[in-house]
């Protein structure tokens, strides 16, 4: 019997060891494949190739492709604005690329990112090369981009979904009443509306005013571009919108000159083949964003560097530890350390800070502000605003030498808030009681099981007001304004880049290239090389650091579908703490 157990144990151990070795080998095998794919050689396009720009997924400034997305069936991958921009520019200058085939498949993102792509496409057309757009269904943002094309085609059963912009708020007040939750709100800013869903049942008049204002500004910019690109009178486009013709037959889009013809995908591809000089009977010869962006651009190396630092995501105390946020972008205090490194690099003559953030933790924003102020004392700092540079995002932008924003950037939101839930009513409903023993008056400050005393509320409100006073002080110092002036245009109000320029929060309108030129001018250099100070980590590095978090996220996203973002929002809310300088909206985009 003893021998039997020894043999059984040895066999079991052997199986476990073999399984472990197999798993490790499998992981390294996958990693080897991924590393080979990422380290592939530069793409060289064949003659008469077409750059196929497929508009799908989610747009962000920088994106690291997660190979597990495809393995797990996740198709809503991220697209990088940096890569798209580079790809379009390479297509413009490469003689073997004859034009762009713009294939619409539901790209989502912020207003400013779309504005930047639209500008690049317009510049591409100046080369004399063609742009042809095709879509089964055009979302508003994708149609805005497609309107630049020489020819716009629509599937006979498709639609151009131009209906106008809308922002819908969800209010939790009724639910809180049923659960016995009393949210305690501490804020400064008439327009600081992040807290409204917890205490109101509809938008306040101030919030409705600011939403109407910035939506009108963004929509006005979008429609004016469409009208100009398609040579459509404003009254004609307004008629299409207000009569709900987006829900009519596809032929209405032709009647109103939104598209040139109703064609099937195969027919459009044959048109593109002819325009590119390809064999109509053969397969359309195309190159995607990844291939085009891999083409190396020959630049003269200079000892003078202009460094671009990408500050993208919410400002938080620490990196997300939850696997649900494994692919989320955040800004932490580590940014201050990186900024100080740039200050000490002699070859870096100027820094372009690309801010794409709705704000977040006020304490962290102050630490980053300090580092940027120190950097500016040594060399020029120019901010390029992306989709958002609001609240804490504006806080870290304020000390810059110059601020450049897109017309549709959402910025400002200079205000702060804090939220503490009082669960005394909930405890009573479910029969829970608590008792405390304390050594000092405020030892139990923040106890959610009892109503908060007035003296405690006053202490917290004073803290919030001090933070706001510091916020407007930082803005006043950075913008050369009085605190009173900043307060008058602050109060938590959100402005578009176009509006912000008119009130002095922004210096110029433009993209990141304009910011680089401005930085060079301020540094008084004409010979320079542009470098990226914080290139995103490749997938292998992220894989080693976060292990299988990426894979877990892909599995859960695949199972939950559209509900995943709501789930992630709830998980994120659990970790927020401290006084917040954050934009009042979680997502405003196309």
User: Which range (228-242, 379-393, 535-549, 565-579) has the least confidence?
Assistant: 535-549
How many domains does one find in the chain? 2
3-state secondary structure of 204: coil
Burial of residue 39 (CB within 10 Å: 0-12, 13-18, 19+) is exposed
**Alpha-carbon torsion angle 273, 274, 275, 276, nearest 10:** 50
CB contact at 8 A, 82 and 117? no
Short-list 349, 336, 412, CA closest to 382: 349
Q: Are residues 469 and 401 in the same domain?
A: yes
- pLDDT tens digit string along 468-524? 999 999 999 999 999 999 999 999 999 999 999 999 999 999 999 999 999 999 999
Secondary structure class of 286 (helix, strand, coil): strand
The pLDDT value given to residue 539: 46
- Residue that wins the pLDDT comparison between 76 and 362: 362
Which residues lie below 8 Å from residue 507, measured CB to CB, with a gap of 6+? Answer: 402, 403, 404, 501
Per-residue pLDDT of 34-73, as tens digits, reads 444 444 467 889 999 999 999 999 999 987 655 555 555 5
Pairing of strands 261-262, 359-361: unpaired
Q: How far apart are CA 538 and CA 197, in angstroms?
A: 39
Q: What is the pLDDT of residue 300?
A: 77
15: pLDDT confidence band, cut at 50, 70 and 90? very low
Full DSSP string of 162-178:
-----------HHHHHH
Q: Do 90 and 57 belong together in one domain? A: yes
Within this chain, do residues 573 and 511 fall inside the same structural domain, yes or no? Answer: yes
**Largest Cα–Cα separation, the chain:** 93
Handedness of CA 105, 109, 115, 116 (dihedral sign): negative
Q: What is the pLDDT of residues 105-125, one digit of tens each?
A: 889 999 999 999 999 999 999
Structure-block tokens of residue 133: 């757009």
Tell me the pLDDT of the chain averaged across its residues: 86
Q: From the CB of residue 241, how many other CB atoms can be counted at a distance below 10 Å?
A: 16
Residue 496 in tokens:
């578009």
What are the tens digits of pLDDT across the range 183-215? 999 999 999 999 999 999 999 999 999 999 999
The answer to whether residues 407 and 555 belong to one domain is yes
* Domain-located, residue 32: no
Half-sphere exposure (Cβ direction) of 285: Cα atoms closer than 13 Å: 19
53 vs 116: CA distance, rounded Å? 15
Residue 37: what pLDDT?
46
The domain that contains 117 carries what CATH number?
3.90.226.10
Are residues 262 and 329 located together in one domain of the fold? no
Q: How many residues does the chain have?
A: 590
- Domain housing 253: 49-163+244-293
Percent above pLDDT 70 for the chain: 80
Predicted confidence at residue 383, as pLDDT, reads 98
CA nearest 137: which of 253, 289, 13? 253
- Beta carbons within 10 angstroms of residue 435's beta carbon: 5
Question: Does the pLDDT value for residue 580 go beyond 80?
Answer: no
Do both 282 and 333 map to the same domain?
Answer: no
**pLDDT value of residue 316:** 93
Q: Alpha helices, DSSP H only, in 180-259?
A: 196-199, 205-230, 234-242, 251-255
Is residue 339 located within the same domain as residue 483?
yes
Residue 1 within any structural domain of the chain? no
- Greater model confidence, 585 or 86: 86
Contact 330, 356 (CB under 8 A): no
- Return the percentage of the chain with pLDDT > 90, whole number: 75
Determine the pLDDT at residue 324. 53
Q: Which of the listed residues 265, 293, 321 is the one where a domain comes to its end?
A: 293
In a domain, 374, yes or no: yes
Confidence of residue 354 (pLDDT cuts 50, 70, 90): very high
Beta bridge partners of 102: 53, 133
Q: Which residue has the higher pLDDT, 260 or 5?
A: 260
Which one has a higher pLDDT value, 397 or 557? Answer: 397
The residue to which tokens 């307060």 are assigned: 487
Residue 208 maps to a domain:
no
Q: What CA–CA distance (Å, rounded) separates 80 from 532? A: 14
Instruction: Tell me if 449 is assigned to some domain.
Output: no
432-478: per-residue pLDDT in tens? 999 999 999 999 998 999 999 999 999 999 999 999 999 999 999 99
Strands (DSSP E) contained in 376-460 are: 381-390, 402-405, 410-412, 416-422
User: What residue has token string 């504006």?
Assistant: 394
- Answer yes or no: do 319 and 404 share one domain: yes
| Mean pLDDT, rounded, for 149-154 | 98
Q: Are residues 378 and 491 in the same domain?
A: yes
Q: Both 277 and 401 in a single domain?
A: no
| Plot region of 578 (φ>0 → left; ψ -120 to 50 → alpha; else → beta) | left
Residues annotated as part of the active site: 192, 391
- Are 579 and 464 in contact by the 8 Å Cβ rule? The answer is yes
Q: Would the pLDDT of 181 be above 70?
A: yes
CA dihedral defined by 316, 320, 321, 326, rounded to 10 degrees? 180
Same domain, yes or no: 411 and 540: yes
In a domain, 175, yes or no: no
Q: 558 falls in which pLDDT band (50, 70, 90)?
A: low
Q: Is residue 381 a contact partner of residue 372, using CB atoms and an 8 Å limit?
A: yes
CA distances from 183 to 173, 179, 436 (A): 9, 12, 22
Which pLDDT score is estimated for 62? 85
Residue 314 in domain: yes
Q: Which one, of 285, 269, 246, lies nearest residue 103 by Cα? A: 269
pLDDT at 146: 98
Shared domain for 472 and 562, answered yes or no, is yes
Domain assignment present for residue 525? The answer is yes
| pLDDT at residue number 41 | 63
Residue where one domain finishes, among candidates 293, 328, 360: 293
**CA gyration radius, the chain:** 27
Q: How far is the CA of 99 from the CAs of 60, 79, 103, 104, 527, in angstroms?
A: 24, 20, 13, 16, 31
Compute the distance between CA of residue 407 and CA of residue 116 in angstroms, rounded to an integer.
10
């Amino acid at each position: 019997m003893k021998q039997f157990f020894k043999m059984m144990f040895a066999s079991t151990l052997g199986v476990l060891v073999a399984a472990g070795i197999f798993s490790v080998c499998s992981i390294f095998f996958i990693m080897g494949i991924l590393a080979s794919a990422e380290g592939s050689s530069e793409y060289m396009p064949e003659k008469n190739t077409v750059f196929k720009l497929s508009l799908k997924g989610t747009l962000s400034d920088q994106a690291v492709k997660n190979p597990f997305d495809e393995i797990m069936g996740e198709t809503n991958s991220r697209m990088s604005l940096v890569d798209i921009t580079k790809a379009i520019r390479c297509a413009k200058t490469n003689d073997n690329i004859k034009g762009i085939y713009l294939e619409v498949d539901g790209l989502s993102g912020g207003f400013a990112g779309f504005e930047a792509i639209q500008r690049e496409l317009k510049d591409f057309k100046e080369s004399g090369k063609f742009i042809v757009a095709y879509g089964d269904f055009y979302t508003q943002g994708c149609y805005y981009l497609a309107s630049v094309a020489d020819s716009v085609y629509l599937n006979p059963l498709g639609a151009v979904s131009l209906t106008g912009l809308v922002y819908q708020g969800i209010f939790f007040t009724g639910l809180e009443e049923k659960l016995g939750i009393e949210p305690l709100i501490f804020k400064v800013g008439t327009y600081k509306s992040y807290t409204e869903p917890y205490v109101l049942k509809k938008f306040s008049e101030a919030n409705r005013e600011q939403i109407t204002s910035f939506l009108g500004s963004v929509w006005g910019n979008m429609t004016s571009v469409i009208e100009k690109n398609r040579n459509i009178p404003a009254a004609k486009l307004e008629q299409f919108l207000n009569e709900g013709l987006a829900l009519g037959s596809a032929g209405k889009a032709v009647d109103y000159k939104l598209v040139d013809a109703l064609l099937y995908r195969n027919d459009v591809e044959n048109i593109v083949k002819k325009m590119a000089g390809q064999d109509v009977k053969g397969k359309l010869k195309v190159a995607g964003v990844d291939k085009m962006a891999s083409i190396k651009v020959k630049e003269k190396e200079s000892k003078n560097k202009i460094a671009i630092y990408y500050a993208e995501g919410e400002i938080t105390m620490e990196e997300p530890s939850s696997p649900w946020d494994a692919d989320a972008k955040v800004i932490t205090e580590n940014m201050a350390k990186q900024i100080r490194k740039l200050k000490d690099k002699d070859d870096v003559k100027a820094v372009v800070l690309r801010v794409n953030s709705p704000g977040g933790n006020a304490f962290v924003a102050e630490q980053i502000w300090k580092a940027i102020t120190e950097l500016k004392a040594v060399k020029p700092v120019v901010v390029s605003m992306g989709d958002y540079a609001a609240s804490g995002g504006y806080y870290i932008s304020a000390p810059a030498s110059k601020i450049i924003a897109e017309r549709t950037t959402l910025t400002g939101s200079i205000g702060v808030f804090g939220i503490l839930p009082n669960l005394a009513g909930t405890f009573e409903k479910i029969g829970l009681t608590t008792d405390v023993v304390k050594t000092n008056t405020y030892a139990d400050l923040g106890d959610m099981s009892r109503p908060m005393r007035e003296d405690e509320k006053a202490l917290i409100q004073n803290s919030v007001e001090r933070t706001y006073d510091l916020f407007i002080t930082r803005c006043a110092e950075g913008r050369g304004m009085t605190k009173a002036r900043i307060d008058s245009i602050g109060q938590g109000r959100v402005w578009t880049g176009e509006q912000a320029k008119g009130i002095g929060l922004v210096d110029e309108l433009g993209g990141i290239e304009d910011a680089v030129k401005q930085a060079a001018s301020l540094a008084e250099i004409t010979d320079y090389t542009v470098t990226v100070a914080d290139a995103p980590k490749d997938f292998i590095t992220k894989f080693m650091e976060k292990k299988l978090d990426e894979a877990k996220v892909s599995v859960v996203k695949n199972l939950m579908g559209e509900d995943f973002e709501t789930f992630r929002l709830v998980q994120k809310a659990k970790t927020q703490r401290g006084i917040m300088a954050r934009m009042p909206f979680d997502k405003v985009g196309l």
